[in-house]
């Protein structure tokens, strides 16, 4: 992370949220690769990113950006969408051009992310969910790369309790998570991997409560954020979109990516799904995962 500079962007209600960026050493204006971390929108931190993303600055010539956003349940999904819209608008602003010394091509923005961050990238790319949350979506990016994304929280995986969670083999106690489950607790835009909050995702899966944590009191249906259904309706389109998923992912089912790919293909939209045989969730955090297919796809879209 030594090449990355930490700054902030402002949420719609004026809260400063952390953002890290790194410019390539090559001359000319660099396209922007915006990354959102995962964690079910309940936990996570912008500084925890896969090695291939950190290397994309030098290896692929991107201005790499990793951004936080406020976390649920203290900020519900509509507020999170407002945050990421504000982030995109900042990256396209004169302020970011000045911050980077005019070295970014603000017309070439690629949105990306892993797990829940991949879901955010797909919503930014398609515009799905924004109108239902009372806001206009930002202009489409030129491409999207979503890795093992959540794409539909009405799926049974998110609504069926698991006692214990299949991939853990033990139950997570509720009491240590009280401070993070309380929607009235102070809002936060990140959590460290060492925090007790790092168990929130597993507890959510255990109890089948992703919809409640993200949307209780928001007045918006969970169906409003279904990527495959939105594409299939004909009301939304995707720019060139790359999807990747491990075939043995037991934290986000591979069908979440497969359904989006099938819907996009049926609609004649440019999509590529790469399934990694035998890989689990977060497989690209391995140093050996260079994700060449992803970067080749992005460069072809640019």
Whether the Cβ atoms of residue 252 and residue 150 lie closer than 8 Å to each other: yes
Asked whether residue 128 is assigned to any structural domain, the reply reads yes
At how many degrees (to 10) do helices 292-301 and 51-60 cross?
50
The answer to whether residue 127 sits within a structural domain is yes
Q: Per the structure, how many domains does the chain have?
A: 1
Question: In sequence order, what are the beta bridge partners of 144?
Answer: 111, 241
Rg (CA), the chain: 18
Residues found in the chain: 302
Q: Say what the pLDDT of residue 1 is.
A: 61
DSSP 8-state symbol, 237: -
Please provide residue 65's backbone torsions phi and psi, each rounded to the nearest 5 degrees: -125, 130
Q: What is the pLDDT of residue 260?
A: 98
183-to-73, 77, 79 alpha-carbon distances in Å: 5, 12, 13
Pairing of strands 63-67, 16-22: antiparallel
d(CA 89, CA 247): 35
Q: In this structure, is residue 182 part of a structural domain?
A: no
Cα angle: 5, vertex 41, 220; to 5 degrees: 130
Return averaged pLDDT per consecutive 10 residues of the chain, 302 residues in all: 91 94 94 98 98 96 98 98 98 98 97 98 98 97 98 98 95 96 97 96 98 98 98 98 98 98 98 98 97 98 96
End-to-end CA distance of the chain: 25
> How far lies 194's CA from each of 18, 161, 162, 168, 226, in Å?
19, 25, 24, 18, 31
Residue 79, domain CATH? 3.40.50.1820
Total-model pTM: 0.98
How far is the C-alpha of 120 from the C-alpha of 35, rounded, in Å? 10
Residues in contact with 6: Cβ distance below 8 Å, sequence separation at least 6, in sequence order? 18, 19, 20
State which residues form the domain around 17: 5-157+208-301
Does any domain span residue 180?
Answer: no
């Amino acid at each position: 992370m030594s090449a990355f500079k930490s700054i902030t962007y402002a949420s719609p209600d004026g809260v400063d949220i952390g953002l890290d960026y790194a410019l390539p050493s090559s001359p000319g204006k660099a396209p922007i690769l915006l990354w959102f971390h995962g964690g079910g929108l309940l936990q996570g931190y912008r500084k925890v990113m896969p090695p291939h993303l950190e290397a994309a600055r030098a290896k692929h010539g991107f201005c790499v950006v990793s951004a936080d956003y406020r976390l649920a349940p203290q900020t519900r999904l509509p507020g999170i969408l407002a945050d990421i819209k504000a982030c995109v608008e900042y990256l396209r602003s004169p302020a970011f051009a000045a911050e980077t010394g005019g070295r970014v091509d603000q017309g070439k923005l690629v949105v990306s992310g892993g797990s829940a961050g991949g879901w955010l990238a797909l919503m930014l790319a398609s515009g799905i969910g924004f109108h239902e949350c009372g806001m206009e979506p930002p202009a489409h990016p030129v491409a999207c790369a979503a890795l093992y994304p959540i794409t539909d929280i009405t799926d049974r995986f998110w609504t069926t309790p698991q006692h214990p969670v299949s991939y853990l083999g033990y139950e997570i106690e509720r009491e240590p998570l009280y401070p993070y489950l309380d929607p009235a607790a102070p809002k936060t835009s990140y959590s460290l991997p060492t925090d007790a909050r790092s168990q929130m995702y597993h507890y959510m899966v255990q109890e089948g409560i992703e919809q409640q944590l993200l949307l209780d009191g928001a007045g918006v249906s969970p169906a409003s954020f279904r990527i495959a259904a939105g594409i299939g309706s004909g009301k939304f389109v995707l720019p060139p979109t790359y999807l990747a998923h491990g075939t043995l992912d037991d934290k986000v089912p591979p069908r979440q990516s497969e359904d989006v790919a099938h819907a996009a293909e049926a609609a004649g939209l440019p999509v590529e799904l790469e399934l990694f045989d035998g890989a689990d969730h977060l497989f690209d955090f391995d140093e050996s995962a260079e994700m060449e297919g992803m970067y080749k796809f992005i460069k072809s879209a640019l």
